[in-house]
Chains A and B, each alone.
Chain A
Amino acid sequence: MAKSFDKSAIIEFFLIEAGDHLTNLNNNLLVLENDPRNIELIDSLFRDAHTLKGSSAMMGFGIISDVSHRAEDILESARSGQLTPDRDIMNFLFEVLDTVKILLDDISSGRKEDATLRDAINRKYEILINREKTEEKVEADDESIERVYKSLDKIFVEKEGQESDVVDMEGAFKEVEEEKEEAIEDVPAKIERPMDSRHAGRRVADVSDLEKRVIRVQIDQLSNLMNLVGELVVNRNRLIGQLEHVKDIRDELVKGKARLLKVVKDFESKYEFSMSPMSFSSTGKKSSEAKSSSGHLESFHELEFDRYDDFNLLSRKLVEITNDMSEIMESLSDFFNKIDEGTLHISKITTNLQQEITSVRMVEIEKLFQRFSRLVRDVSQSENKKVRLEFVGGETKIDKAIFELISDPLVHIIRNAISHGIEMPHDRKLSGKDDTGVVFVRAYQEGNNVVIEIGDDGKGIDPDSVREAAVEKGYIAKSEEKTLTDEDAINLIFLPGFSTSKEISAISGRGVGMDVVRTNITKMNGQIEVHTEIGLGTKFIIKLPATLAVSQALIIKSMEQEFAVPLNLIDETTRISQRDIDYVAGSEVINLRNKIIPFIRLNNILNLDVKKEVSRSSTELYPTLILKLADKKIALMVDEIIVQEEIVVKGMGNYLKNIGLFSGAAISGEGNVRFIIDTASLIEESLLTGKKAVGVKTSLRPEEKASDAAAASTVKKREMLLEKPKVIIVDDSISIRKYVSHFLTRAGYEVEVASDGFEALNKIGQTKVDLIVTDLEMPVMHGYELIAELKRVPDLSKIPIIVLTSRAGEKHRQKAFEMGAQEYVVKPFEEDVLIESIKKLLK
């Protein structure tokens, strides 16, 4: 065959096509087993096998071609009525399917086809054929395949040198099909296929019709698309946040405008027209100048003629400008409103886009169910049990990525259900059950989750035998055996390496335990539960997110950095004080509703270099997450719980893949990277290693508990390290508030703002403030009043105060210090001066 032929792109198509044929063959064979004389079905099977043979031969995969040829031969004989598909034949056909599948896997992973597989199939085929004694037919078929090969060679030779693209290949396909159809004409089965040529023609048409409507897309491309949409969503949220800010500014603008108008109005009403010279006491000079300039009017009485002095002119100008300003503000405000509407629109479109792309990735779970029919057949046959499989909810849709990941765990559970759950037919009859056991798989949507229930009506799991096995294998102590509740005992099956079966059978005991099942499910942010009743059956309930691309997480802060914790394993959040912490074998634990669970400080896990943080003030409450994986719980202390958010999960990339503690990263609305904490492995490792070296391969230092006493003195300092100091800025000028809060935030402070003393007092009452920066002259409550109020309340009197004012006079300064302010900074000021003062006072 043509050597230079570049097939790599077409192999991709071939693999997809072959996969489809295999699925069809598998499904139809299962139906055929119960309806062996269905000619239509055999026909359809024959066509699939035939096409598979043809296309694989053309791609140069001779072994797949030969193997499927054997299936085709058998089906051919079945079609012509020469043999009836009995159990042996069915098994042979299934075996062919499995072989082709292995060979396809080889090809897709770039390996050569395994020729020994063909030999095995050929041997079995001989046995079957000898049984049927139909040698002449085989010869005929061999002849026909030889002709096919010849025609193939011809095609490739013809095509050689031409540019080979998919269109060419399709042409070639058609040619081969036709040639082969002709070859098959020789076979004595004409009656069954009356309009052969037209039949073939229609099939081609069907395909192209489908192609008009359907396009196959690589899952990677979809993932990229999904990723981009995720970014869009995150950025939209950020835009909305900024718009909120703009709205605030707009409100300030409206207020400012009203104030300006009022002041100007007052001014106008006072000075619109000149008044008696006496009223200008302070501006007497100006008024007299004005008078002199309008000397001609001296004979008029004041009310007889409007005389304008500078003040009147100023007033008029001011009114004019104010009106102009007011109009500009008006249109600015309108503009903001329009942006608002536009953003709302974009926001809706983004949401729709997200939903649409998500739904493209969704696959009906029915397709997964189909994989199980065969499994149940094989397993029940080999165990000599009678099992019926029931599906409900095949139309439920699930993300393709999850679809692939969940397949193996489900297979494992179903195997277990048949080999451990369902009893032998005889035993079932004895206990009054139907001799055919039922394994059911149910799927349904529940909010953002898809729930899959897998159960059987078998003998159930006996908690006592689990206890026994657990003691025997050393998972629990003999003394623990009695105290363990039935529920806890059943959950032991999820422990690594635990399996209740006495002997390892070839089918159910493949070295993968329920622990792997659970790990895989938690990796997908899913959960698994088990319910069982002795004599009635067992049911596993698996909860999975409908999509993996976007997930819910709690954003937390630790070591001054934000992290995301997937919501699926967070059982609850709580606050723990130092008093609640006990020590067991040198490790911290807490007592949570009478259950002792490990207490882990995220700071210690994240930071290997810094000394272990032993304690803070004994009354302070630490924000703590209770994480739960099956029956295992740990408490994870963080510095701060920020918010619950939707995150777009991104991989860490190849370079950092083995970082361990993090399962990925997400990007916040502001563009910051937050690592996603791999809670499942955190729990696993913290339990396995006796709570100490959580998730850390390098073990933690032993001196961890040394400095209990020293801790108390460093409490204050630690707090400062862990939490940003909070500064409140009290000023009636919005620009001062914005400016100061901007550079203080940048300098690492948390900033609150208030526009007058009263508002400040309210805010200080609500949250803990470490330092106050206040102006003196403000409406409602001025700076001195604020200081006086603060000094009156014992709790607040210790908060350091910096006065930030434009009053440079010694008198003002003196008064501020007398009342209890610590620093006095005069506007305009240098950023550094203020920051230095703040640093000094917070020490």
Chain B
Amino acid sequence: MPEAEGLKETIAVEEAAEPSTQYCTFRFENELYGIEIDQIQEIINLQRIFPVPRAPNYIMGVINLRGNIVPVIDIKPILKLPLWKQDVNSRIVLINAENVIVGIVVDEIGDVVSLTGSKIEPLDIKQDDERSKFLMGISKLPDKVLVILDARRIIDDTKLGAA
């Protein structure tokens, strides 16, 4: 996976006085996304997902996480990307969003990157695009553009009965 290797070299972003935030990165096909590390509880291997009948298409189902029922969602359709497909390096990223743990499926986990606020640029997207509230900005890494997501917001907004 060239993307992942490229990433490894980018870990050390300058450590200036400006406070930096750590982001866990992951891949959807050729695109790189990042989620603030504070929002992530843990990353697990793909395991059997039990589909929830009648749930919307982005809800893949639930997993049995050490005896707890944890929903797993595919955020790709929410971001207007094609549906997620399982791959050898697929993982589930468990997001911790105020009393709810929700897993999201990703193609592959990349490295953790540290970014200062000035490294993150606002995204050029129309305000009325419903995705805009989920996208916190982009950051140009040496060989790739990182799109930073607000995973908690995605979970809050896609919760059943939220709308």
Contacts and interface: CB of A to CB of B under 8 A. Distances in A.
Interface stretch (B19-27, B63-71, B107-115, B122-130): B63-71
Given A559-B53, A673-B62, A651 B69 contact: yes
Nearest to B63: A673
A650 B65 CA distance: 12
Most buried by B among A607, A655, A673, A696: A655
Nearest to B161: A658
B83 interface: no
Contacts of A608: 54
B69 to A, nearest CB: 5
A228 B67 CA distance: 8
Contacts of A177: none
B70 A653 contact: yes
Contact of A667 (B59, B64, B159, B161): B64
Given A651-B69, A653-B100, A654-B99, A659 B52 contact: yes
A656 B160 contact: yes
A655 B53 contact: no
Contacts of A605: 53-54
Contacts of B160: 655-659
B67 A231 contact: yes
Interface in B16-71: 48, 50-55, 59, 62-64, 67-71
Interface in B83-105: 99-102
A652 interface: yes
A671 interface: yes
B159 A652 contact: no
B155 interface: yes
A650 B159 contact: no
Contacts of B67: 227-228, 231, 650, 667
A785 B27 CA distance: 60
A605 B67 CA distance: 27
A656 B55 contact: yes
Contact of B64 (A561, A656, A662, A671): A671
Interface string A643-667: 0000000111111111111100101
Contact of B71 (A227, A655, A662): A655
Given A655-B71, A655-B160, A672-B64, A561 B53 contact: yes
Nearest to A560: B51
Interface residues of A, number: 29
Interface in A23-56: none
Given A231-B67, A673-B69, A655 B155 contact: yes
B100 A655 contact: yes
A653 B54 contact: no
B55 A650 contact: no
A824 interface: no
A673 B50 contact: yes
Contacts of A607: 53-54
A671 B64 CA distance: 7
B53 A652 contact: no
Contact of B53 (A606, A658, A672): A606
Given A657-B161, A667-B64, A650 B53 contact: no
A605 B53 CA distance: 9
B81 to A, nearest CB: 21
Interface string B138-160: 00000000000000000100011
A660 B161 CA distance: 10
Contacts of A561: 50-51, 53
Interface string A75-100: 00000000000000000000000000
Contacts of B55: 656, 659
A675 interface: yes
Contacts of B54: 605-608, 659-661, 696
B102 A655 contact: yes
B67 to A, nearest CB: 4
Nearest to B62: A673
Contact of A673 (B59, B64, B155, B159): B64
A671 B67 CA distance: 8
B68 A650 contact: yes
Most buried by A among B50, B62, B67, B70: B67
Most buried by A among B70, B99, B160: B160
Contact of B159 (A227, A228, A654): A654
Nearest to A665: B69
B125 to A, nearest CB: 26
Contact of A654 (B50, B51, B53, B100): B100
A653 B101 CA distance: 8
Interface string A594-629: 000000000001111000000000000000000000
B53 A656 contact: no
A701 to B, nearest CB: 14
A665 B68 CA distance: 10
A656 B59 contact: yes
Nearest to B98: A654
A354 to B, nearest CB: 15
Nearest to A652: B69
A69 B139 CA distance: 63
Contacts of B100: 653-655
Nearest to A607: B53
Interface in A164-218: none
Nearest to A608: B54
B53 A661 contact: yes
B59 to A, nearest CB: 7
A233 to B, nearest CB: 11
A252 B67 CA distance: 34
A333 B101 CA distance: 46
A662 B71 CA distance: 14
A653 B69 contact: yes
A660 B55 CA distance: 10
A665 B62 contact: yes
Contacts of B99: 654
B62 A656 contact: yes
B150 to A, nearest CB: 16
Interface string A233-258: 00000000000000000000000000
Contacts of B102: 655
A490 B71 CA distance: 43
B26 to A, nearest CB: 20
Contacts of B101: 653
A652 B155 CA distance: 15
A227 B66 CA distance: 11
A665 B67 CA distance: 11
A652 B61 CA distance: 11
Given A650-B68, A656-B62, A672 B159 contact: no
A608 B59 CA distance: 15
Contacts of A658: 159-161
Given A228-B67, A654-B100, A659-B160, A672 B50 contact: yes
Nearest to B48: A672
Nearest to A648: B67
Contacts of A655: 71, 100, 102, 155, 159-160
B144 to A, nearest CB: 31
Nearest to A651: B69
Contacts of A696: 54
A561 B50 CA distance: 9
30 contacts: A228-B67, A231-B67, A559-B53, A561-B50, A561-B51, A561-B53, A605-B54, A606-B53, A606-B54, A607-B53, A650-B67, A650-B68, A652-B62, A652-B69, A653-B70, A653-B100, A655-B71, A655-B100, A656-B52, A658-B159, A659-B55, A659-B160, A660-B54, A665-B69, A667-B64, A667-B67, A672-B48, A672-B50, A672-B64, A673-B62
Interface of B: 48, 50-55, 59, 62-64, 67-71, 99-102, 155, 159-161
Given A650-B68, A673-B64, 7 more contacts: A228-B67, A654-B100, A655-B102, A655-B159, A655-B160, A656-B160, A667-B69
Which 5 residue pairs are nearest across A and B when measured between Cβ atoms? Answer: A658-B161, A606-B53, A673-B50, A658-B160, A231-B67
